[in-house]
Structure 1
């Protein structure tokens, strides 16, 4: 940590890059009588269906919040947990999903727009970053996606390098982000990388949710100092939520909002807060203490003058005191401000409706980033060992079987069907639940189209998803002694890979719709087991009322195509003593499935290949949708 602080000090002494000295468009943020409520008392969709008569009630989260933040000012939102700080921040940043929001929120006296979205940075409390990318790669990829197409790739890279220098990240620029059990950069460096991602667009308005959470006091001081420089020297409007800042941090904020249970207790200069509560209201700290701690005590209804006083009464008195002493002044300040409309008057609205980069540029960047990030997971030593061990075991169990052991060969083909139905299914199920936070963050910032992300992920996973089943098939096919003709080998490989892609699509669809790994895993297991049971290997005489399942089963069509890759109608095999021969198509495990309908099976799998991915895409459209 000592080395990090020395490096940070050295970097902050440097002159910031010229492109980040000033905000592009100064923004005055005003919010008047902001009220937000949500409905509670209902469960999920299934529970709603079962409990149609269950009454719901609304809960007020924000209760008429008013304030103003000008360019060059940094506003801190204080309050205990559950006071509404993060909700208010999300509302001001245009990222509040669901619920009912009323009141007026304006940016240079105009509502939230594409213009504002392009000039707003939002740093969430959790640092949502790709763990296997380095600091430089993270910021360069973000620059390539968020900076306008008018800049070249080299210029965008220079912007990323400038941000790295400005935030003091040069020492760790080639170290991976890390996370979980993967060792990477420190917590303070991760937070600065998150801030750096938003600084790349040189935002006029910057929102940060708990930027000092989990950091030591020195690192927190460095981060807030950087934010103060961005506001004071760069003309940016900065709004942060902060739980319990130190005294040094508290006096760096130009303005402070104190919230308690959604009510506004104070809005004004941070340096005047103590004087207001002590001189005007008579709530003075009995001992020298951190002003932020004193304010949080009051927000919790704890008075240092009389610890036995009713906490609810104290909160109520503070709410009434704000309405009597400060409310009118704040409303007059908000109403009298007529900041310039530079942001909206200097930008062509038609231009703002377009994305920063073309669809192909977004796709190519996301494709490269996806390959670099997911290759570590797809080709982990554990997964490679798992596939190789199972492949060798299968090869030994089915060692050099021939058509005279037809049941054994059919069993191997069905094992192909089962193993490579479940394996890609579960690999794909986890994809979107794991990337949900990242997708929501990046889509909320208008970084890319959902279609470019989806296509990049789908095509980027192809080489990684198809290598292991190919290796598995080659090993088992040669060891088991299946049909050695090139046509049978390559058609069998094609069918296996085809079914892998279909199973992967089913997994993507389940994961995208459910978005919960436990529930998605359970649902996926039930669906795939149903497909396997109905495909004709286990049960040859399926009752008519449930026979329809096989027509929607991936396993049914892939199993049929695997059989067709090895056997042809009219082919004979030794079926008993005295070298008696029988038709392969009459073998019980084959007869239930049949050796016909090859074209129908290929078309059915093609429909599933596309259909499942379409379902996944439609399900993803609800993620990252924010107020526009």
Structure 2
């Protein structure tokens, strides 16, 4: 290791973070691990419906990855991340052919618990501290450990990763600055180490880091692999030479997803030199490899035409491309795939894979656990820790609750003050009915924050469920009880209580509690609808385009703009499914009944107006009183107990049906591979 320490000292800037030591890490791997890849091919289908385009990303990749740092390298689009996803069981294996084995055994149901995966993007909760994020991972993945053991594990990880200085610093997000990029990356690595993983996968861990910080991260990974016999497999795009020297094994991919070298990193340069491709001593080896790969791409994907083993996994287009491409070396470039398949390194690899395959008892397909899912903790524990994290996020940003609540209070004052002078005449009925309409609209329209509640945590949900932290049900339950009630339920409650008082509605307990309860139920129904649509489309732009359109249709059939009694039977279904209509009908049936409204009815004056004034007996025909029940029935609102129950059931069916459907969608997403 002397040459590594000297190279780091020479190239390290004076103001960068110190490289942490890993000698005292208590969670090292006691046994070595070996992952083998046997003739792995992968095909994807993309494009619009009925015009799908099939593309072969990987073509018969073979390799054996052992203890140490194993680097998957290649140009952009070579399939590095795809291969890493397949090895880490994060990619849908139904489109793959071949085998992926661990110690000559298939991937088990608990594979996600026995391995660690660090994504290219640092998916870590920005509002929590470094220690809190690592402790969150420990709580959900160390099921049988006591609270003291978890705390001790976190303490030792923080110390071993050199995070003592920033352990109580928040990670940071787009709203406030937190730890540095290197500390964030090390925090992500620390979250994966709580389960003593045998294998650690990292997708381009140096992306977004400066050269010195990137060197610090790779040096840390080297300490993990050297001192604790772990197998680290990472994809990397274009490392500097000082980073390249840390790699134990290199797997090079061509532009077409074919292996052009698999072997020790220290022998890679000499391998190409033996085939008359000499790297200058002053040139970065990978820059040299990249130039060779780009030049080789002009030859297209290459196979032996007579070798069925290498062509059986190709689609028809790829076979045609392979058979028509140049299959011999040219003056400008050499066929790197051909050279590798004829080399001694490939023969040695084939022999090793053959021995491993004889020990294996699985079939050719690597899909026996494609739909498996396993978590270390039970649903109650998952709900507990998820709720704690959600409440912590809300507590750190109280304005997300305070501001909507203040706005709801002000709206209640405005709406209530404008309608508080209503009278018991026929015009007063219209005013009060319109005021009730606006009192039920705000709890419905005020639930748009539910879109962000679900979408802001989507990347955490997909990433953490893939690693076995939790399942979809406790996640949705924690979102509902910890965030949805605070961000949507409390503002609706404040609006209903103050609006009722200021509007001077019936001073009775039953109508008051019905008013508040109906508004809360309507708010819950709207939230369930918004959650369902948002989970279905999974996109903020699509959700904000669809949800307002649906709510506008519901408002149109709410009973204020159209007389529901005269509505055509074809449109009755829209009336029944309108959340504002059912809310308004319930509110009006309690607030506008047992009351008389007197005044001049709407009429058309006869041609001789003087005769109307002269004949006082005719004046009584235009003046009269109507009960609230009569007015409500005239506009199509039922007031009987059975009809009220029908309104309530329809409102209750929205959350009863849509929340389980939302759970089902999230469950499918959590189990669906990339």
Name the TM-score class by shorter chain. Answer: 0.7 to 0.9
Cα deviation for residue 355 of structure 1 reads 3.8
Q: For residue 202 of structure 1, what is the aligned residue in structure 2?
A: 196
Which of 86, 89, 109 in structure 2 is aligned with 1:114? 109
Which of 184, 190, 194 in structure 2 is aligned with 1:190? 184
SS at match of 1:180: coil
In 1, Cα distance between the equivalents of 2:350 and 2:155? Answer: 43
Cα deviation for residue 453 of structure 1 reads 1.8
Contact 1:258 1:299 in 2 (8 A): no
Q: For residue 614 of structure 1, what is the aligned residue in structure 2?
A: 660
Q: For residue 600 of structure 2, what is the aligned residue in structure 1?
A: 576
Cα deviation for residue 512 of structure 1 reads 0.9
| Greater C-alpha Rg | 2
2:243 is the alignment partner of 1:223 = no
Gapped regions of structure 1 (runs ≥ 5):
49-53, 304-308, 342-348
Q: TM-score under structure 1 normalisation?
A: 0.88
In 1, Cα distance between the equivalents of 2:158 and 2:46? Answer: 44
Q: For residue 95 of structure 2, what is the aligned residue in structure 1?
A: 100
Cα deviation for residue 315 of structure 1 reads 6.6
Cα deviation for residue 507 of structure 1 reads 0.6
In 2, Cα distance between the equivalents of 1:377 and 1:301? Answer: 57
Q: For residue 306 of structure 1, what is the aligned residue in structure 2?
A: none
2:357 is the alignment partner of 1:332 = no
In 2, Cα distance between the equivalents of 1:353 and 1:182? Answer: 36
Cα deviation for residue 265 of structure 1 reads 1.4
Which of 54, 60, 74 in structure 1 is aligned with 2:56? 60
User: C-alpha root-mean-square deviation of aligned residues, in Å?
Assistant: 3.0
In 1, Cα distance between the equivalents of 2:211 and 2:579? Answer: 57
Which of 509, 513, 528 in structure 2 is aligned with 1:505? 528
Q: For residue 76 of structure 2, what is the aligned residue in structure 1?
A: 81
Could you report, residue by residue, the CA deviation over 1:297-317 in whole angstroms, capped at 9, with x for unpaired residues?
2222279xxxxx999966761
Could you report, residue by residue, the CA deviation over 1:393-452 in whole angstroms, capped at 9, with x for unpaired residues?
32343344454422222212111222221221x222333333222111111111112222
In 1, Cα distance between the equivalents of 2:99 and 2:22? Answer: 41
Which has the larger displacement, 226-235 or 427-436? Answer: 427-436
Which of 574, 592, 610 in structure 2 is aligned with 1:567? 592
Which of 425, 433, 439 in structure 2 is aligned with 1:416? 439
Q: TM-score under structure 2 normalisation?
A: 0.82
SS at match of 2:259: strand
Residues 67 and 310 from structure 1, CA distance in 2 versus in 1: closer, same or farther, beyond 3 angstroms? closer
Contact 1:398 1:408 in 2 (8 A): yes
2:642 is the alignment partner of 1:599 = no
Q: For residue 554 of structure 1, what is the aligned residue in structure 2?
A: 579
2:385 is the alignment partner of 1:360 = no
Contact 1:536 1:589 in 2 (8 A): no
Q: For residue 346 of structure 1, what is the aligned residue in structure 2?
A: none
Cα deviation for residue 255 of structure 1 reads 0.4
Q: For residue 317 of structure 1, what is the aligned residue in structure 2?
A: 335
Contact 1:117 1:445 in 2 (8 A): yes
In 2, Cα distance between the equivalents of 1:480 and 1:312? Answer: 87
Contact 1:302 1:311 in 2 (8 A): no
Q: Say how many residue pairs are matched.
A: 594
In 2, Cα distance between the equivalents of 1:590 and 1:378? Answer: 45
Following superposition of structure 1 onto structure 2, how do residues 454-603 of structure 1 map, counting pairs within 5 Å?
A: 454-460=476-482, 461-540=484-563, 541-568=566-593, 570-576=594-600, 580-587=624-631, 591-596=635-640, 597-603=643-649
